[in-house]
Structure 1
Amino acid sequence: MKRHLTPELMDDPALDPAEHRHALGGLARLNRISAAGRSPWRGMADLVRESNRPLSVLDVATGSGDVPISCARRAKAEGLELELHGCDLSEVALSQASQRARDAGLTMTCFQHDILAEPPPETYDVVTCNLFAHHLDEEGVCLLLRNMALAARRRLLLCDLRRDRIGLGLAWVFSRLLTRSKVVHVDAIKSVRAAWTPGEMRDLATRAGLENAALPSCFPRRMMLSWEPS
């Protein structure tokens, strides 16, 4: 299945804010049903459990913050704590993320930042990115990984879709079952068509200088790149 990258509706700066918020709500439901926070949590849980202080976690291109909030909830269920941070280009998304964190009884520091323009201004124990790499071309993914790596003191985690026909079918069905947002219906299909295969992602990580990165598959039809600085 050949990769096909086209602009997603939610990336359009002219998208009506109300439609944007509706779409973010639909994506939040998709993330809950697909347990999108499970793999990132598993990717950082060992560090969180062995630490004697709250680990700082930055989620890049955080959207409405569903994944880091899910990780913080999982940590809290074990009596542990995360220091949450999230960055995104969209002010609408950042406002939504801040509100969702407050609704969950969590504190999340959100700030506007273009991760493709420069690395984050500070470093963090763990830097994560979820469902963003499929929006980018090869050079964009390499730049994303390099800038994330510069900010990650202990671990980098990048989770995204895998491109295959099963994933395409799942995206079509569940986007329509879980939300009425036409933006999500269109973008869910675009996302899978634009996703990378594990082999492609491994090659991109190597090009970005992330040697010895692990790349396990995750349910449902996803993959998670995990890398630690030497």
Structure 2
Amino acid sequence: MRPVARTSRSPHGLERRDVAAVELMDDPACDAEGLRRTYRAFVVINRVLAGWRRVYVRRIRPLLSADTVTTLLDVGSGGGDVARSLARWAARDGLRLEVTGIDPDARAIAYATSRPALPDLTFERAHSGDLVARGARFDVVISNHVLHHLDPAARDGLLADSAVLARRLVVHGDIARSRRAYAAYWVATLPLVRAGRASAPFVRDDGLISIRRSYTARELAAVLPAGWRVERAPFRVLAVLDGRAVLDAREPSGGDDARA
């Protein structure tokens, strides 16, 4: 029997990860139109909360060139808004960046590819392990809100795959679990309750579940392999592998990933 997704109440508070909670969007039978509306809402939510502009400016843009193509893989790309933003920012800066988004969920890929095409942006239905098996390599590997979805085996597989796939940098960004983050999101999404959630039916409940499932910085640091480190940002944690550590961490693996 599939676990039933719980909403804003948590029987044990936020002292530990609520790994038993299941997000509504992860149900293959969830409402298709509601899912599309939620993907649209993520464009704004990720722009405001996910912090990828900061990561792009500080981490990714210094690796880019106007003359040489840099490749980037977005694992668990969902509706594609983060991948799309990175491609647009690089183009606006006159830098060459080829972005590939992968997701194992056909619904996510269908939505991402239904939006207007951008040069140097592609999407594919795949797991990270599929790309490892075919010998693919990218300069940069990222994910947004993927880690908290994964059980320990899948998480470790994604981290190992990322080290194999990346030449220069890996950044897996996720929510930092805290009472402050939970309260802020609860208040920020109240308008969706008043509007009957029709505009984006999964945003509020799934977002609160995501916070409960997410790691604190200390918890994430405890499960990262050697060479990785945790960096903090407002309401965010980043699992980072870069420089020489990318080369040192490369070992064959075949882990899976999940949708953001």
- The Cα of 1:153 is off from its aligned counterpart by 1.4
Question: Quick check: 1:109 aligned with 2:122?
Answer: yes
- The Cα of 1:13 is off from its aligned counterpart by 0.8
**Is contact 2:67–2:96 with CA below 8 Å preserved after alignment?**
no
**Is contact 2:78–2:108 with CA below 8 Å preserved after alignment?**
yes
CA distance change for structure 1 residues 147 and 31 in 2, over 3 Å: closer, same or farther?
A: same
Q: List structure 1 runs of 4+ shifted beyond 3 angstroms.
A: 115-121, 175-180
**Structure 1 alignment gaps of length 5 or more:** none
Cross-structure match for 2:4: none
Cross-structure match for 1:57: 72
Aligned Cα root-mean-square deviation (Å)? 2.1
Question: Quick check: 1:212 aligned with 2:227?
Answer: yes
Q: Which moved more, 1:183-192 or 1:164-173?
A: 164-173
CA distance change for structure 1 residues 166 and 145 in 2, over 3 Å: closer, same or farther?
A: same
Question: Quick check: 1:48 aligned with 2:67?
Answer: no
CA distance change for structure 1 residues 34 and 20 in 2, over 3 Å: closer, same or farther?
A: same
- The Cα of 1:143 is off from its aligned counterpart by 1.4
TM-score (norm 1): 0.87
Counterpart code for 1:109: T
Question: Which protein has the bigger helix share?
Answer: 1
Cross-structure match for 1:168: 182
Cross-structure match for 2:25: 10
Rounded to whole Å, the distance in 1 between the matches of 2:119 and 2:188 is: 29
Question: Quick check: 1:94 aligned with 2:109?
Answer: yes
- The Cα of 1:55 is off from its aligned counterpart by 0.7
Cross-structure match for 1:225: 239
**Is contact 1:128–1:157 with CA below 8 Å preserved after alignment?**
yes
Q: Deviations over 1:168-225 (max 9, x none)?
A: 112222234477423111100000000011111112212xxxx232322123x00112
Please give the secondary structure, in 2, of the residue aligned with 1:126.
strand
Rounded to whole Å, the distance in 2 between the matches of 1:101 and 1:142 is: 34
Counterpart code for 1:126: V
CA distance change for structure 1 residues 193 and 35 in 2, over 3 Å: closer, same or farther?
A: closer
Cross-structure match for 1:69: 84
**Structure 2 alignment gaps of length 5 or more:** 1-14, 248-260
**Is contact 1:56–1:83 with CA below 8 Å preserved after alignment?**
yes
Rounded to whole Å, the distance in 1 between the matches of 2:131 and 2:232 is: 29
Question: Quick check: 1:152 aligned with 2:166?
Answer: yes
CA distance change for structure 1 residues 95 and 116 in 2, over 3 Å: closer, same or farther?
A: same
Report the identity percentage.
Answer: 29
Question: Quick check: 1:143 aligned with 2:157?
Answer: yes
Cross-structure match for 1:84: 99
**Is contact 1:39–1:218 with CA below 8 Å preserved after alignment?**
no
Q: Which moved more, 1:67-76 or 1:93-102?
A: 93-102
- The Cα of 1:120 is off from its aligned counterpart by 6.3
- Choose 1 or 2 for highest CA Rg: 2
**Is contact 1:120–1:147 with CA below 8 Å preserved after alignment?**
no
**Aligned residue pairs, count:** 222
Counterpart code for 1:30: I
Q: 2:217 aligns with which of 198, 211, 218?
A: 198
Q: 1:129 aligns with which of 122, 137, 143?
A: 143
**Is contact 1:39–1:224 with CA below 8 Å preserved after alignment?**
no
